[in-house]
């Protein structure tokens, strides 16, 4: 997100908090699980994240809080709180 507006900052902080909350409740979840939670359960329709973008979002904004391991059978990232 480019810009320094307070609405963009608030949206980014809410998105980070929602992801951290979900991962802390459901450790061992995948990026698709996170996107499903944001879109369907929390009804955040225009959060802008896809399963692929979650893989870029978490290391960029949550690298000290959320860690991931690779699943051996599928090769997907499995997220948990550090």
Q: What is the mean pLDDT of residues 10-20?
A: 91
Please, which pLDDT band fits residue 2 given cuts at 50, 70 and 90? low
Residue 65 corresponds to which tokens in the numbers above? 């809080």
Q: What is the mean pLDDT of residues 9-14?
A: 88
Residue 10 corresponds to which tokens in the numbers above? 């608030």
pLDDT tens string 34-79: 998 888 888 877 777 888 889 899 999 999 999 999 999 988 999 9
Instruction: Name the helix (H) or strand (E) containing 67.
Output: strand 66-70
Specify the pLDDT at position 26: 94
Domains of the chain, earliest start first: 6-81 (3.30.420)
């Amino acid at each position: 997100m480019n810009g320094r507006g307070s609405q963009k900052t608030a949206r980014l902080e809410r998105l980070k908090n929602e992801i951290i909350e979900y991962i802390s409740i459901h450790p061992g979840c995948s990026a698709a699980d996170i996107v499903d939670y944001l879109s369907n359960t929390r009804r955040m329709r225009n959060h802008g994240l896809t399963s692929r973008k979650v893989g870029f979002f978490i290391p960029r904004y949550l690298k000290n809080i959320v860690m991931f391991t690779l699943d051996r059978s599928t090769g997907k990232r499995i997220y948990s709180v550090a």
